[in-house]
């Protein structure tokens, strides 16, 4: 028989998003608050990110991932937030019953509010459909990071990395420092996917080649990876057969994107946005289904943990607030030309909070444009923007029109090719 627990707030996932939301809801008067984490420690993905680069915006200093997490773990210890570790949520229902399991048994929480903060997962080889056998030696970059930084294993000695996302760039440096030889980072697009500073600090500083407009077209080796075939691609992403090259390696790392972890949300019937992969949210990160909030990478893949913390702290403060009226939102936001993602997608008041936008390409001298039914009502200059870095705008800086309707968000400017 499950144990039944009544809760004002149940937070699912104890990464930076869940910790900040639990802390802030408790500090704003909610009780009891339960924080459920399937791992043995709080901190989420931060525990394996031992490189510096976290917290510059939020704490004004550069911390490692575990140092950043520690700040919140210590603050949580001083509250009555009930932290359940080793506790996996198996199911949530639309009327906010959260079913979880841990070594003590099965639990059923009846929650007034549920905060989704389950983070994201990595895209795998199966999603890329690269031909070849299924040899040992193919890892996602995040798994390789876990093996090196937490378990102390080196996944291979001669490495090729597919995808120039931040995790791949960071792992190129990490594996080099551990004595492996990173032969190349191969990127299908004609521009870098990760942050420019990671390209400089992780590839340039270690003489690791970056092959833009290239992709892996075959994986060779039966028991263990023996090498990969790499081809150039044209501007439409089609493979050019000429100039094919073989790169000998024993390991292929995949750094080809992250997907918000929403299997639980989907089963609960929470509407998901096709552009972010997370639930549709309003400016308070409330989902379309009443009593549910989504924050952090479960809502959309954020580039900086600082933004995750800011948003999740706001969510905690808004739980139970009267400004969360359930009237239909005034505006629905949708990405248009040059934009791949917009968070939030619903605006109720537009007075507080932020608009996060991810561009489709790298642009310089760009203009961020907001239009209602085809009429531009706001244009903002952005000197530079990259798909890897979200553009953040204060909602109160936008003059929202009084008419209701769909707002298209676009970016126009000069395209940057190469690494910028
Ligand atoms: C390799 C890498 C490098 C990064 N580098 C930087 C950097 O330099 N600077 C920076 O600012 N940001 C960086 N980031 C981004 C930052 O780490 C993320 O934005 C942040 O960790 C997202 O927090 P989150 O709480 O949403 O997700 P996570 O940290 O992923 O936490 C989600 C938690 O939910 C738990 N969970 C999931 N499902 C369940 C379930 N069913 N039941 C119970 N628990 C569950 C998971 O175990 C996990 O602990 C990096 C990220 C990665 C992956």
Residue nearest to atom 49 of ligand 1 (CA): 44
The reply to whether 115 and 166 lie within a common domain is no
Q: What is the pLDDT of residues 170-199, one digit of tens each?
A: 999 999 999 999 999 999 998 888 888 899
Average of per-residue pLDDT values in the chain: 95
The reply to whether 263 and 235 lie within a common domain is no
Q: 322 pLDDT exceeds 70? A: no
The reply to whether 332 and 313 lie within a common domain is no
Q: Residue 382's CB: how many other CB atoms inside 10 A?
A: 17
The reply to whether 322 and 332 lie within a common domain is no
- What integer pLDDT is reported at residue 253 of this predicted model? 97
Structure confidence at residue 323 as a pLDDT band (50, 70, 90): low
Closest CA to 343 of 297, 412, 378: 297
Where residue 369 sits, what CATH number does that domain have?
2.60.40
Element (H, E) at 318: helix 305-318
The reply to whether 364 and 305 lie within a common domain is no
Domain end marker among 191, 219, 254: 254
Per-residue tokens: 99: 């079913």
CA 403 to chain centre: 33
Lowest mean pLDDT among 83-87, 125-129, 340-344: 125-129
Mean pLDDT over 282-306 rounds to 95
Closest CA to 335 of 288, 310, 368, 299: 368
Q: 420 pLDDT exceeds 80? A: no
Alpha helices (H) along 78-165: 125-128, 141-146
Where residue 18 sits, what CATH number does that domain have?
3.50.50.60
Q: How far are the Cα atoms of 75, 122, 139, 181, 199 from residue 158, in angstroms, in the given order?
A: 42, 22, 13, 5, 20
Element (H, E) at 21: helix 16-27
- 129 Cβ neighbours under 8 A, 6+ residues apart: none
The reply to whether 408 and 357 lie within a common domain is yes
Q: How far is the CA of 297 from the centre of ligand 1 (A)?
A: 7
Residue nearest to atom 48 of ligand 1 (CA): 44
Instruction: Please identify, by atom number, the ligand 1 atom nearest to the C-alpha of residue 53.
Output: 8
- Cβ–Cβ < 8 Å for 276, 300: yes
Please tell me whether residue 288 adopts helix, strand or coil conformation.
coil
The reply to whether 145 and 250 lie within a common domain is yes
Structure confidence at residue 133 as a pLDDT band (50, 70, 90): confident
Domain end marker among 326, 345, 363: 326
Per-residue tokens: 9: 């707030």
The reply to whether 322 and 342 lie within a common domain is no
Alpha helices (H) along 148-302: 166-177, 196-198, 263-267
Mean pLDDT over 376-399 rounds to 95
Beta-bridged to residue 359, according to DSSP, are: 339
- What integer pLDDT is reported at residue 400 of this predicted model? 95
97 or 322, which is more confident: 97
Q: 354 pLDDT exceeds 70? A: yes
Among 11, 23, 24, 49, the mutation site with the greatest number of ligand 1 atoms within 8 A of its Cβ is 49
* Residues 382, 137: Cα–Cα separation, whole Å: 42
Mean pLDDT over 277-303 rounds to 96
- 263 Cβ neighbours under 8 A, 6+ residues apart: none
Residue nearest to atom 16 of ligand 1 (CA): 305
The reply to whether 160 and 228 lie within a common domain is yes
CA 169 to chain centre: 16
Please tell me whether residue 116 adopts helix, strand or coil conformation.
strand
Mean pLDDT over 124-150 rounds to 92
- Cβ–Cβ < 8 Å for 99, 91: yes
Structural domain containing residue 58: 3-121+258-326
- What integer pLDDT is reported at residue 83 of this predicted model? 98
Residue nearest to atom 52 of ligand 1 (CA): 167
Q: 129 pLDDT exceeds 90? A: no
Binding pocket residue ranges, ligand 1, CB within 6 Å: 12-18, 36-39, 44-46, 49, 53-54, 88-89, 117-119, 142, 145, 166-167, 170, 261, 264, 296-298, 302, 304-306, 308
Q: 418 pLDDT exceeds 80? A: no
Q: 325 pLDDT exceeds 70? A: no
- What integer pLDDT is reported at residue 371 of this predicted model? 98
Domain end marker among 254, 273, 300: 254
Domain count for the chain: 3
The reply to whether 289 and 382 lie within a common domain is no
Q: How far is the CA of 398 from the centre of ligand 1 (A)?
A: 30
The reply to whether omega before 32 is within 30° of 0 (cis) is yes
Structure confidence at residue 130 as a pLDDT band (50, 70, 90): confident
Angle at 200 (CA atoms; ends 199, 204), nearest 5 degrees: 95
Give phi and psi for 412, each to the nearest 5. -125, 150
Q: Which residue has the tokens 């790499």?
A: 230
- Cβ–Cβ < 8 Å for 27, 316: yes
Q: How far is the CA of 45 from the centre of ligand 1 (A)?
A: 4
Compute the Cα dihedral for 295, 300, 305, 308 and give only its sign.
Answer: negative
Closest CA to 130 of 259, 235, 225, 213: 225
The reply to whether 204 and 262 lie within a common domain is no
The reply to whether 219 and 290 lie within a common domain is no
- What integer pLDDT is reported at residue 64 of this predicted model? 97
**pTM (2 decimals)?**
0.95
């Amino acid at each position: 028989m499950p144990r039944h627990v009544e809760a004002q707030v149940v937070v699912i996932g104890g990464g930076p998003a869940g910790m900040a939301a639990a802390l802030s809801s408790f500090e704003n008067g909610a009780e009891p608050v339960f924080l459920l984490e399937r791992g043995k420690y709080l901190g989420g993905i931060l525990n394996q990110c031992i490189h510096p680069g976290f917290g510059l915006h939020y704490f004004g200093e550069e911390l490692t991932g575990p140092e950043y997490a520690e700040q919140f773990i210590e603050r949580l210890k001083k509250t009555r937030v009930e932290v359940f570790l080793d506790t996996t949520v198996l199911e949530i229902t639309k009327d906010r019953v959260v079913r979880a399991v841990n070594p003590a048994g099965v639990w059923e929480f009846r929650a007034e509010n549920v905060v989704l903060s389950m983070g994201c997962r990595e895209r795998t080889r199966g999603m890329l459909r690269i031909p070849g056998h299924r040899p040992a030696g193919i890892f996602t970059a995040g798994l390789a990071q876990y093996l090196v930084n937490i378990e102390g294993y080196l996944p291979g000695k001669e490495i090729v990395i597919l995808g120039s996302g931040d995790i791949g760039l960071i792992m190129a440096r990490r594996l080099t420092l551990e004595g492996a030889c990173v032969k190349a980072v191969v990127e299908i697009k004609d521009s870098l996917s990760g942050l420019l500073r990671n390209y400089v600090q992780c590839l340039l500083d270690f003489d690791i080649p970056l092959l833009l407009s290239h992709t892996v077209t075959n994986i060779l080796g039966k028991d263990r990876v023996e090498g990969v075939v790499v081809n150039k691609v044209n501007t439409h992403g089609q493979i050019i057969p000429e100039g094919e090259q073989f790169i000998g390696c024993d390991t292929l790392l995949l750094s080809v994107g992250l997907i918000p972890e929403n299997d639980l949300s989907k089963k609960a019937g929470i509407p998901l946005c096709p552009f972010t992969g997370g639930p549709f949210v309003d400016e308070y990160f409330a989902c379309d289904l009443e009593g549910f909030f989504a924050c952090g990478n479960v809502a959309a893949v954020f580039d900086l943990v600082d933004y995750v913390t800011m948003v999740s702290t706001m969510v905690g403060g808004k739980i139970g607030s009267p400004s969360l009226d359930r009237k239909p939102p005034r505006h629905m936001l949708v990405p248009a030309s040059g934009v791949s993602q917009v968070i939030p997608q619903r605006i109720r008041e537009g007075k507080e909070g932020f608009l996060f936008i991810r561009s489709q390409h790298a642009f310089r001298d760009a203009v961020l444009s907001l239009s209602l039914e085809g009429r531009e009502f706001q244009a903002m200059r952005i000197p530079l923007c990259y798909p890897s870095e979200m553009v953040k705008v204060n909602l109160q800086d936008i003059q929202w029109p009084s008419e209701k309707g769909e707002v298209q968000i676009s970016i126009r400017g000069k395209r940057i090719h190469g690494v910028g």
